[in-house]
Each structure stands twice: as C-alpha cells, then as structure tokens.
Amino acid sequence: MQGQKSKLDKALRLLTPSLAQPFYNMFDKRKSDINEIRLRNKRYLTVVVKGNEYYITPSGGFSADCENAVKVAQEEIDYTYKTALRNTIYSFKREISLGYIITEGGNRVGFCGTAVLDDLGKNDTLKNISGISIRISREIFGIADELINKLGFQKSGLKNVLILGPPSSGKTTLLRDLCRQIGMKKRISLIDEKNEISATFNASPQNNVGNFTDVFDSYTKYYGILSAVKIMSPQLIVCDEIGTKEDTEALDYAINSGVNIIATMHSNNIDDAFKKPHMKELFSRNAFDYIVLLGTGDSLGKIISLRKIET
C-alpha cells in the first residue's frame, strides 16, 4: 500500500503548479504532518495539522497570520475542482450533490459553494465553488492492536463492538486497521457509505482493508448491510457512523442472522450513547458485547474507556 508521502504527492497533483510549489519547498517532516490542504476563493492557502490550521507562505512555511501567505484565485479553485472530477463533471453527479469525491491515493476532496436544489428541496448539484478541502488519506498500521488484544479477537473470536468518539477522534482510522487485521483471517463486508475507510478508486481500495474484505462502496448502510448478509455471507460487518432508525434496523437484522458487527457512532461519552433515540432498542437487547470510547487531542485514537455489556 502507498506511503504517506505518495498520498500527499497525489494530492498536490490536484493543485495548480503555483499552489503546489510551496509544498515542494517544505521539509519532508513538515509535509508528513499535514492532514488537510484547504483552498478558499480570494483568500489564502492553508493546511490543517493536528487540528490546527496554518497559513502557507511561498517558501513552504507555516504561519499563524496571513501577512505573507499564498493567495488563492478563483481559477485555481476551478482547476482543482475539475481535476478532482477528472474533467468529467457530469459523470459524478452523485458525488457533487454530496459535496466530496475520493481521488487517486484515497484522498478525499470536499467542496462547497452555492447549492442547486431539486423539487424536493434536496441538493441536486453545486455551482460557484468557493472552497475546497483535500483530506490526505491516512493509514496507521497497528492502531487497532490495543483493541484486538483487549477484546481477545485472536483467542476467543469475533465480538459485537460499538466504537464511540467525538468528530476527529480517530474512529475511521481505527476501523480501517481493524479491517486490515481481521480481514486477513475472517470474511468481512465493509459498508463504506462515504468511501472513507477503503477509499475505493476505479474499483480498487486505495487503503489496505484486508484480503478477505468485500467493499460495498457508497451503499447506504441499510441496503449495504442487507445486501451483504444475503449475498456475501460475511462473518463480520463493519460500518461507520450509525445512528438512524434504518441503520439500527439493518444491524438488528445482521445480528439476528448470526453475523458479528463492528460499528462507530458519534458520541462524547458512553452514557450519552445510551440516550440516543434509535439506539435504545439495540442496547436494551444487549446487541453489543463491548462499547469503546476514544479520546481526542493527545489521546487521539486511544481507548479511554471500555465497557463490557453484561447479559
């Protein structure tokens, strides 16, 4: 699988030469810390590093103020937008309506602008693109070691696990490494609704999600889970960001079919998770064997609480 440097290089190909040049001027260590590259029309080129946003200078420096920062023109926004969509905008209507697309290397390009609504008031497409975020795909091999060891996957088999955490707590990165490790031994159906875990590009996962993992790219969780159980006979279903009534109904169907699940959900703590409206029924039937809470900041991606659900 690709290294972090390769993924950043692929992201830089989406930029005009003038915007890419400051990154080529950077030290490799500084480049390796970049999580996102952001472009805002008639404002400045910035990067996100460990949750903090910095302006970029022509020499490739990080700055807390915009005095010497690189400015971004509308033409440069348009170039990146069209390049990310491979200059075939009409082929990616769904991605445009959702506001993002996965590009080569597994990087996610998100964009915002003026929404064009359909007759039902839903986003049909976008125009006047004013901002772009290029999120660098990040694989951290071994981040799932602690959870796999604590839950005894290697010795006692699969469990039903719910992973909690606020946004940017490393839930998706952890799921990716769980797929990689467990998917070398067990059949997994990965329901990758936002294509953030596998980062599938041209029918090929750009991230390592395991040799025995089947990817349901861009399926809704409801139809993805139902299809997986009926078609692929998985031993484990993995999905990200559950919480709707349809999600819980599909998970209940999978569990009743004898399939184990590992899922994530946004929540700041375990007690709050139990109060979420559509989750109460699953919790009342002890659908999960374990609930795990991840931290943020210095505890990013680390387990700060693990609760076994007693039957």
CATH (domain of 80): 3.30.450.90
Say how many C-beta atoms besides its own lie within 10 A of residue 30's C-beta.
15
Residue 192 DSSP code: E
Q: For residue 5, with 0-12 CB atoms within 10 Å meaning exposed, 13-18 middle and 19 or more buried, which class applies? A: exposed
Note whether 122 and 155 are same-domain residues: no
Last residue of a domain, one of 112, 135, 158: 135
What per-residue confidence (pLDDT) applies to 253?
A: 95
Is residue 42 in a domain?
yes
207 within 8 A of 199, measured Cβ to Cβ: yes
What per-residue confidence (pLDDT) applies to 4?
A: 67
Write the CA distances from 179 to 34, 175, 184, integer angstroms: 24, 6, 8
What value, to the nearest 5°, has the Cα angle with vertex 127 and ends 123 and 130? 110
What per-residue confidence (pLDDT) applies to 17?
A: 97
Q: How far apart are the C-alpha atoms of 181 and 9, rounded to whole Å? A: 27
CA torsion angle for 172, 133, 122, 85 (degrees, to 10)? -100
Last residue of a domain, one of 86, 110, 135: 135
pTM of the model: 0.80
What is the span of the domain harbouring residue 278? 145-308
Residue 203 DSSP code: T
Write the CA distances from 122 to 9, 98, 107, 118, 277, integer angstroms: 35, 10, 26, 6, 25
Note whether 37 and 75 are same-domain residues: yes
Type of residue at 109: V
Rg, the chain, Cα only = 20
Counting as low any pLDDT under 50, the low residues of the chain are: 1
Type of residue at 47: V
131 within 8 A of 3, measured Cβ to Cβ: no
Is residue 226 in a domain?
yes
CA torsion angle for 114, 120, 125, 127 (degrees, to 10)? -30
